[in-house]
Structure 1
Amino acid sequence: MTDYWNLDAALAEETTVPLKFKYGILGVARVLEPGSTNNDIDSGTKVDAPLWLAAALSRRGMTSFGAPELYSERYRRKINAGAECMNLKGRAPYFYDVGNKCNEFMQDLTLSAFLSRTYATRYRELVSKGLSTVSGEDMLELQSKLSLEELSVFEAGRDAVARTETWARGARPRVLAAAVVPSRKRASAPDDSKGREARQRVEG
């Protein structure tokens, strides 16, 4: 079930998918297709609708739908040709999320395998390589190709690398040393005062 408060999940479900009606429906044609001359939808009519609507109607057995064209065999061949051959950020920012949501209804094993293989390949060739990228220009070019899901993983990886480098440079030991020194000074103060009082009693 989609998290109601998850903005990315809500935006992903705004992606349009091809929808086919199993039964005729009255009075909704112009809502789904503003340019329609007929206000009713006949059985077998195909329209493009948001994923959230397609899913809701399909759960009621009123429609069936498929994945967007980007998941077709033609585009699968392009993506399989190489990780850098496809810019997902511009074409499908929620590529994996939308594909998996569509497949909850399609139950297409080939689509599941394709999504898994694509993620593994692009992670290895783009995300992992980007973790060692130094050039700002190369970084921007790489980020422009990643879907938002991939970009989230990439940024988490970059943050982890930065934290590790900071730790390796010795930032953590310096912080600990700074925290320990004042405590020693505070601990020595009472001992010195007691020593002075004892010396004063002896001299008196």
Structure 2
Amino acid sequence: MPRISAATVAEHHAQQRQALVRAARGLLEGGDAEAVTFAAVARATGLARNSVYKYFPGRPELLAAVVEDALPRWTDAIDAGMTAARTPRERIAAYVSAQLELVRSGEHRIARALAGVRDARLVRESAGRVHGALLTPLTDALTELGEEDPRRTALLLQGIVNAATTAIEAGDDYAAVSERAVGMAVRAVTGGP
């Protein structure tokens, strides 16, 4: 029987699964989703390649798990910024700023690498759930502001974040892009300066 490195088999399984997700994430940080193979992930974790199949039936499930694993980092950063804000206007600014700071920190590289995955239905579904969760605090702030259609407005404001992300990743000045994106988002909703 294989040795386990946890108090229970279930804990060991969860630890191994998390190690595989982290290894896949590490490979994705290089910017090439094709580098994430079961052989490469197994090498990075010290497992046999066929052992990876005990945790993930295929590569799409592993990549989807990487997307799901990133969600808490994004939601925690957004929640922290929005919680510290005192007004709905400041919460909108914090929403945009938090996401762009994550882009600057390199957290978005994984999403960019995953964009090129072929046959990525599961990855797209996971990304859709992640984006939906990210919009919730913004939708709540917009509702507090009395926005007529908060969900649609949140999606449009996310478009500003997406455009700013593209600019930052293309090498544009982070401070200038971030300041402009925050200003545009706040003005779009409040009509103020």
Q: Which has the higher helix share?
A: 2
Larger radius of gyration: 1
With the shorter chain as reference, the TM-score category is 0.3 to 0.5
The higher-RCO structure (CA 8 Å, 6+ apart) is 2
